[in-house]
Amino acid sequence: MCERKNPFRRRAAPRPTGTQGPGLLRRRSLFARGRRPRKGRGEGGAADGNPPPREDAAGPVGGAQGAPGVLAASGQHGSGGAAAEGGALRPGRGAGGPGGRGAAGAHGLLASSVAVVAEFGRIAVEFLRRGSNPKVYEGAARKLSVSSDTVQHGVEGLTYLLTESSKLMISELDFQDSVFVLGFSEELNKLLLQLYLDNRKEIRTILSELSPDLPSYHSLEWRLDVQLASRSLRQQIKPSVTIKLHLNQNGDHNTKVLQTDPATLLHLVQQLEQALEEMKTNHCRRVVRNIK
């Protein structure tokens, strides 16, 4: 998983922030935006009902533009700036938005073919694992006789849907509610739910790699040496432990070779054992139990 070309990783722009939960905790849909009056343009992208995310983020919001545009074909496109309308979402109107262009066609397309959506879902997950590959869009576009842009938006929309749901770890019911507002067929909704449930663990693992990273432990090798002589002193007996520490940072593998003497080693072991013991104290147990 080292060379992951995650679309999110490429972008330096901040992610949409207003996406966490009170809305979801109260079981509102991911696409609840469609139901409320909007604040204005530049606030596109699907999110939960609360303050909409900033538009500057590229990846997920690009996908977000795609998501409503393609999957739900809502009227909300950041650049299109169409004001929200309550209730049912309509085929994309904001022709300015990138999602808008293929939206109408894609909506009809996706709504009608569950198999197509299944395929797109598979592609989306594959892209999350390995990074996007534009060639796949070409192939799919040709088969479905639509523009590859449409395919791209469809896949990006699905990606966004999956990552947001996995990130927030929403329950099945919440997911169903969210997807329900998109106005798809029952079969399609079930398919999307299954896609979410099957892949969320893996997606969460992938997302956890995006957090601010300190070098993390990978493995450790050790060797016991005895120094017998040196240039400045003959006939010595000096035991020492040589340690090769393998660390990971941002996918790079780093090794450090270090040395220590037996007394320090004992001290290190004592300290680290204490560290482990801490986790078992009452205080820590209480914290773990109560923060859920």
Q: Which residues bind another protein (CB under 8 A)?
A: 8, 15, 17, 20-21, 167-169, 204, 207-208, 210-212, 214-217, 219-222, 224, 226, 230-236, 238-243, 245, 247, 256-262, 264-269, 271-273, 275-276, 278-279, 284, 287-288, 291-292
Give least dist CB 43 to another protein, A. 19
Toward another protein, which CB reaches closer, 170 or 188?
170
Cβ closest to another protein, residue 136 vs residue 207? 207
Q: Which is nearer to another protein, 145 or 232 (CB)?
A: 232
By C-beta, is 83 or 169 nearer to another protein? 169
Of 185 and 281, CB closest to another protein? 281
Smallest gap from Cβ 17 to another protein, in A, equals 7
Report long-range pairs for 202-206 (Cβ below 8 Å, ≥24 apart).
Answer: 202/125, 202/128, 202/129, 203/125, 203/128, 203/162, 203/163, 203/166, 203/167, 204/166, 204/167, 204/169, 206/1, 206/4, 206/6, 206/128, 206/129
Beta-bridge mates of residue 5: 131
Count of C-beta atoms within a 10 Å radius of residue 152:
23
- Looking up tokens 């003497």 gives 261
Q: How far is the CB of 114 from another protein (least distance, A)?
A: 30
The answer to whether residues 109 and 91 touch, using CB atoms and an 8 Å cutoff, is no
Tallying the residues shown for the chain, one arrives at 292
Q: How far is the CB of 242 from another protein (least distance, A)?
A: 7
Pairing of strands 216-227, 252-260: unpaired
In whole angstroms, how close is the CB of 15 to another protein at the nearest point?
A: 6
Question: At how many degrees (to 10) do helices 98-112 and 59-66 cross?
Answer: 60
Answer yes or no: are the C-beta atoms of 176 and 193 closer than 8 Å.
Answer: yes
Nearest distance, CB of residue 209 and another protein, angstroms: 9
Q: How many Å is the Cα radius of gyration of the chain?
A: 26
> Based on CB atoms, which residue is closest to another protein, 18 or 96?
18
Shortest distance in whole angstroms from residue 66 CB to another protein: 20
Query: Which residue, 112 or 236, has its beta carbon nearer to another protein?
Result: 236
Strand partners, 242: 223, 259
